[in-house]
Amino acid sequence: MKFYTISLIILLLLLCGCSSREHNNPFDPLNPETKGAPTGLEISSNRDTIIFRWSPVEVDDLEEYRVYFSNGNNPLQYLQNVRATENQLQLIRCFYDIRYNFAVKAITKYDEGPLSDSVSIIPGPYNLLLTDYYDYTLKRLSYDGNYVYRITEITSPIALAADCGHGIIFVASYWQHSVFYLNRAFKITRSVELSNHPVDMSYDARSNRLFLLEKGENRLSVYSREGNLQEMVALPLECNLQTKIALDVISNTVWIASQNDATVIAVDFSNPERSVKNIAEIAVSGKVDVSPVTDGCWVATDSGVVRITASGNFSVFKTEYHITDISVNPDNGDCYYVGYRRSDNRWVAGRLRFGMQIIDEVLLEQDYRWLYAIQVIPGANDAGFFVMQANTWRLLRFDANGHKIGELPEYSAQLDFFLE
């Protein structure tokens, strides 16, 4: 009895003599989360400017931060010191399409901390605006497709356009029968009520006009930048979710492709009478996109990519493929496409390079399947493209040679893009 009691008391005392303190000092190399280095690293780019931020290291006697950087695959090298009261660094005049890597360490009066993990970004002339119909979101993504800069919720955003000069983003909401006007900070500044569901729209920044198609209507509505209805043009087809619009600002022509009516029509706005021409009857399967370089348009169809000239002549490429989406580089006329070969379900992404003769270049083949949307990065030189992969619901960013440089998860297949 006495033995057990004494044993229990000793055990009790032993149990008491423990400490469960954790290494929570952010500068402590034994801290399991920070490992002694700055955390909360964020990086963003706007054209040729990169902003690198980190969470402040809250310790006494902090003197400064030391920032390291490199470009490409080079090792990190010292860039500059940042005062302890600041926790960001701005690097200007960066080169486009080159990867920049950054890391930072904290320096106190007594010691120099370890280097943080590195973060990287590829700056470019554009950021990507993107609406996701099923996710109810409008997002601004980085040029390299690795970061989401801003996000806001909008009900069923079916179409997206923007007036970059005036800082207006137009988002058409399918279920709310409205077009919302947002500023650069994604705050809704105005909304235009529609009589029906919007299905697609396009904005002409030169004439400040918004061209809009509504479901179940046989018309093309034209709104001013202020949201006033200017005119309506009667169309020989009824619009639905598979009706797509594209605007050629050079020839002042609106191209409309309807999957249900298997028709492509052109509305000539340079003519005061707004002549509407039925250009071709083809099995439209996706988007129509204009080519200001070459005049005319490109259409994604069930039997390849179709190029239609302004006079109505058309030629077909990739005839054995079901094309799910196309995107035309407005600066050089190249048409990027995604689709699959009907005979063996072989998925491809490629481009039809426009020149004296059109050359087909396959960029992705078999490595990526279920590609349902593509957006090319405009530019005289090839800068790459975004594609949306349906089975993994990822948005993938590739460079001009088809090498993946970025990806973001959780996207649906019903996207609309705009490069701002």
* Distances 34 to 43, 52, 103, 193, 378 between C-alpha atoms, Å: 18, 18, 13, 51, 40
Residue nearer to another protein on the CB measure, 62 or 395 = 62
Instruction: Please state, in angstroms and rounded to a whole number, the distance separating the CA atoms of residues 397 and 394.
Output: 10
Please give the size of the binding site for another protein, defined by CB under 8 A: 30
Asked whether the beta carbons of 259 and 275 are under 8 A apart, the reply is no
Q: How far is the CB of 115 from another protein (least distance, A)?
A: 16
Nearest in space to 259 (alpha carbons), one of 324, 309, 320: 324
Asked whether the beta carbons of 264 and 257 are under 8 A apart, the reply is yes
Tell me: does residue 343 bind another protein (CB under 8 A): no
4 burial (CB, 10 Å; 0-12 / 13-18 / 19+) is exposed
Applying CB under 8 A, among 32, 33, 60, 193 the residue interacting with another protein is: 60
Tell me: does residue 356 bind another protein (CB under 8 A): no
What contacts 149, CB < 8 A, 6 or more positions away? 44, 127, 139, 140, 141, 142
Applying CB under 8 A, among 3, 32, 58, 85 the residue interacting with another protein is: 58
Residue nearer to another protein on the CB measure, 4 or 78 = 4
Tell me: does residue 25 bind another protein (CB under 8 A): yes
Binders of another protein among 61-120, rule CB under 8 A?
61-62, 108-111
Q: Judged by CB under 8 A, which stretch of 3-11, 122-130, 185-193, 364-372 contacts another protein? A: 3-11
Block residue for tokens 């594209």: 246
Phi, psi of 119 (to 5 degrees): -120, 155
Q: What one-character-per-residue DSSP string does 264-287 give?
A: EEEEESSSTT-EEEEEE---EEEE
Residue nearer to another protein on the CB measure, 19 or 357 = 19
From edge to edge, which strands make up the β-sheet containing 148-153?
A: 148-153, 137-141, 128-132, 415-419
Q: What one-character-per-residue DSSP string does 204-227 give?
A: ETTTTEEEEEETT-SEEEEEETTS
Q: Judged by CB under 8 A, which stretch of 19-27, 271-279, 347-355, 400-408 contacts another protein? A: 19-27
Applying CB under 8 A, among 16, 185, 356, 380 the residue interacting with another protein is: 16
Q: Judged by CB under 8 A, which stretch of 26-34, 198-206, 365-373, 383-391 contacts another protein? A: 26-34
Tell me: does residue 27 bind another protein (CB under 8 A): yes
Instruction: Please state, in angstroms and rounded to a whole number, the distance separating the CA atoms of residues 188 and 169.
Output: 9
Q: What one-character-per-residue DSSP string does 36-73 give?
A: TS----EEEEETTEEEEE------TTEEEEEEEEEETT
Applying CB under 8 A, among 13, 92, 185, 380 the residue interacting with another protein is: 13
Q: How far is the CB of 133 from another protein (least distance, A)?
A: 48
Q: How far is the CB of 54 from another protein (least distance, A)?
A: 17
Q: How far is the CB of 27 from another protein (least distance, A)?
A: 6
Applying CB under 8 A, among 3, 12, 73, 343 the residue interacting with another protein is: 12
CB atoms within 10 A of CB 1: 5
Tell me: does residue 9 bind another protein (CB under 8 A): yes
Tell me: does residue 32 bind another protein (CB under 8 A): no
Tell me: does residue 15 bind another protein (CB under 8 A): yes
Residue nearer to another protein on the CB measure, 56 or 292 = 56
* Binding positions for another protein, rule: CB under 8 A: 1, 4-5, 8-9, 11-13, 15-21, 23-25, 27-29, 58-62, 108-111
